[in-house]
């Protein structure tokens, strides 16, 4: 359930925009879900970057080298 204050604010917004309260709620929920998806995607990218940095550190620590064609054929080595 929605508290009275929020319901009143939604009613005012709906009246100002000439829309229904349910339409506003659906829009707000959709936007919130999209925001969370973007955040989750960003977190995954950051995690991947951190993992790559850890691999680089380990490679430097153990003085390992990669294939000489790694830059050119990186897809082959990643997947």
Residues 6+ apart with CB under 8 A from 7: 21
* DSSP per-residue codes, 7-64: HHHHHHHHHHHT--HHHHHHHHHHHHHHHHHHHHHHHHHHHHHHHHHHHHHHHHHTT-
pTM recorded for the entire structure:
0.54
What are the residue boundaries of the structural domains of the chain, listed by start?
4-78
- With contact defined as beta carbons under 8 Å apart, do 2 and 10 qualify? yes
46-73 pLDDT tens trace: 888 888 888 888 888 887 777 888 888 8
DSSP 8-state symbol, 79: -
Percent of the chain with pLDDT strictly greater than 90: 46
């Amino acid at each position: 359930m929605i508290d009275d204050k929020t319901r009143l604010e939604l009613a005012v917004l709906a009246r100002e925009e000439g829309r229904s309260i349910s339409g506003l709620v659906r829009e707000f929920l959709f936007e919130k879900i999209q925001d969370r998806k973007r955040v989750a995607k960003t977190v995954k990218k950051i995690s991947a970057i951190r993992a790559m940095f850890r691999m680089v550190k380990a490679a430097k620590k153990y003085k390992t080298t990669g294939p000489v064609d790694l830059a050119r054929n990186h897809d082959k080595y990643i997947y």
